[in-house]
């Protein structure tokens, strides 16, 4: 079992639980759902409030360890942004009474640091589009040391009731209900499926975050019978770790073929899968390199699996790369 009395593990679990609880509360009362960021991706009150709270605690406990997180207070520059900031101050104030706008912005921007030898990375709400749809999303926090993820914690409030998934390098991957006082952790293990035709494949819910026609082509090549399961966020990694899925493809969208994964979208989920016995590489079979900045610039997309199906998936990916013309007419 994981040592929850270890200071960094204990704090990471506590923060993810508190954040997941807050996300649920905010989601219940959400009226103005989202603000569009510069890249037109949505961001909500919950993303900012959680980043502020987690960053505040990490800055207090580990002032020297950088935090690399998704959001920044720059988003509050507009009139609409100011309305969001006021709501963020209110939500944060429920946990930190008297928190001011200036403090909230300072905490959020504590997360604007660059990765170092040892750093935290946070996606306050991974799968914001799922959160807005009241579907799957995850709070994802990880500690990375010398390019390797050491601790990965996922809070998935809508997964299997509500799920807290904690992975620590060499200590396995464990799941409990969120905010379960009894701390009834079960160890997770990937599936033993080794027949590609029977594989349960996971993909992003948003078609714009994957490559739909290439996915069809890969399914045909592997002989997969069931339709891929569409799901937002790193909740997919939790599902794979639990043996409820066998293969996960993060393909490159034809609209953004040069997209590079953000570390906060992958760090916690990668360790969750690996510590459950699975395998995670990029689409070329290379290990994910978390030592090169905020984006995984040395990797293209992600392939995660139960291990047994990894090679078969890499082979069809290799063939598909050699023959991209075959799907040009089917592009979305
Ligand atoms: P998912 O829930 O699998 O769709 O992944 C959610 C994450 O995908 C978000 O946190 C975004 O940072 C990230 N994302 C945004 N655009 C893309 C893209 N074009 N390809 C892959 N991932 C993306
Ligand atoms: Mg994300």
194 is catalytic: no
Report d(CA 189, CA 171) in Å as an integer.
13
Q: How confident is the model at residue 30 (pLDDT cuts 50, 70, 90)?
A: confident
Q: What is the mean pLDDT of residues 286-300?
A: 97
* Sequence-distant (≥ 6) Cβ neighbours of residue 116 within 8 angstroms: 65, 66
pLDDT tens digit sequence for 101-157? 999 999 999 999 999 999 999 999 999 999 999 999 999 999 999 999 999 999 999
* Per-residue pLDDT at 34: 75
270 is catalytic: no
Q: How confident is the model at residue 228 (pLDDT cuts 50, 70, 90)?
A: very high
Residue with the smallest CA separation from ligand 1 atom 22 is 209
167 CA to centre of ligand 2 in angstroms: 18
**Ligand 1 neighbourhood includes 126 CB (under 6 angstroms):** yes
Find the ligand nearest to 126 CA: 2
pLDDT tens digit sequence for 249-262? 999 999 999 999 99
pLDDT tens digit sequence for 155-181? 999 999 999 999 999 999 999 999 998
Query: The whole model's pTM is what?
Result: 0.96
Tokens of 284: 């070329």
**Ligand 1 neighbourhood includes 253 CB (under 6 angstroms):** yes
Are residues 139 and 155 in contact, defined by beta-carbon separation less than 8 angstroms? yes
**Ligand 1 neighbourhood includes 209 CB (under 6 angstroms):** yes
- The pick from 135, 136, 204 for probing ligand 1's pocket by mutation, whose C-beta has the most ligand atoms within 8 angstroms, reads 204
The answer, yes or no, to whether residue 38 has pLDDT greater than 50, is yes
Find the ligand nearest to 233 CA: 1
Which is it for the CA torsion 10, 144, 64, 265, positive or negative?
Answer: negative
* Sequence-distant (≥ 6) Cβ neighbours of residue 144 within 8 angstroms: 115, 118, 119, 120, 121, 150, 263, 267, 290
83 CA to centre of ligand 2 in angstroms: 23
Residue with the smallest CA separation from ligand 1 atom 14 is 209
pLDDT tens digit sequence for 205-218? 999 999 999 999 99
Are residues 159 and 266 in contact, defined by beta-carbon separation less than 8 angstroms? no
**How many Cβ atoms are within 10 Å of 83's Cβ, its own excluded?**
14
Report d(CA 173, CA 187) in Å as an integer.
6
* Per-residue pLDDT at 142: 99
pLDDT tens digit sequence for 301-326? 999 999 999 999 999 999 998 777 66
Residues of the chain with pLDDT > 70: what percent?
A: 97
Local structure of 140: helix, strand or coil: strand
Report d(CA 100, CA 89) in Å as an integer.
7
First to last CA, the chain: 46
Secondary structure string (H, E, C) spanning 225-243 = CCCCEECCCCHHHHHHHCC
Q: Which atom of ligand 1 is closest in space to residue 252's alpha carbon? A: 20
């Amino acid at each position: 079992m994981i040592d929850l009395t270890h200071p960094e593990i204990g704090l990471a679990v506590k923060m993810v639980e508190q954040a997941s609880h807050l996300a649920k509360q905010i989601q219940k009362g959400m009226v103005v759902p989202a603000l569009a960021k510069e890249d037109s991706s949505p961001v909500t009150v919950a993303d900012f409030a959680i980043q502020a709270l987690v960053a505040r605690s990490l800055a207090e406990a580990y002032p020297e360890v950088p935090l690399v997180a998704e959001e920044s207070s720059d988003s509050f520059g507009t009139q609409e942004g100011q309305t969001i900031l006021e709501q963020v101050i209110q939500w944060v104030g429920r946990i930190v009474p008297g928190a001011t706008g200036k403090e909230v912005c300072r905490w959020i921007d504590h997360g604007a640091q660059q990765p170092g030898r040892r750093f935290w990375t946070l996606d306050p709400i991974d799968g914001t589009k799922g959160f807005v749809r009241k579907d799957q999303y995850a709070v994802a926090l990880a500690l990375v040391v010398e390019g390797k993820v050491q601790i990965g914690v996922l809070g998935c409030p809508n997964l299997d009731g509500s799920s807290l998934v904690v992975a620590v390098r060499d200590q396995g991957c464990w799941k409990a209900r969120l905010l379960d006082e009894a701390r009834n952790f079960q160890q997770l293990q990937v599936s033993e499926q080794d027949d590609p035709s029977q594989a349960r494949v996971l993909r992003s819910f948003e078609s714009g975050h994957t490559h739909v026609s290439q996915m069809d082509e890969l399914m045909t090549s592997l002989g997969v019978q069931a339709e891929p399961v569409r799901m937002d966020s790193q909740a997919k990694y939790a599902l794979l770790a639990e043996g409820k899925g066998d293969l996960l493809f993060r393909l490159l969208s034809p609209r953004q073929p040069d997209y590079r994964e953000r570390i906060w979208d992958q760090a916690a989920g990668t360790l969750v899968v690996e510590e459950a016995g699975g395998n995670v590489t990029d689409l070329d079979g290379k290990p994910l390199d978390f030592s090169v900045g905020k984006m995984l610039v040395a990797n293209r997309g992600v392939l995660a699996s139960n291990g047994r199906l990894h090679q078969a998936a890499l082979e069809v990916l290799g063939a598909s790369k050699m023959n991209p013309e075959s799907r040009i007419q089917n592009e979305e």
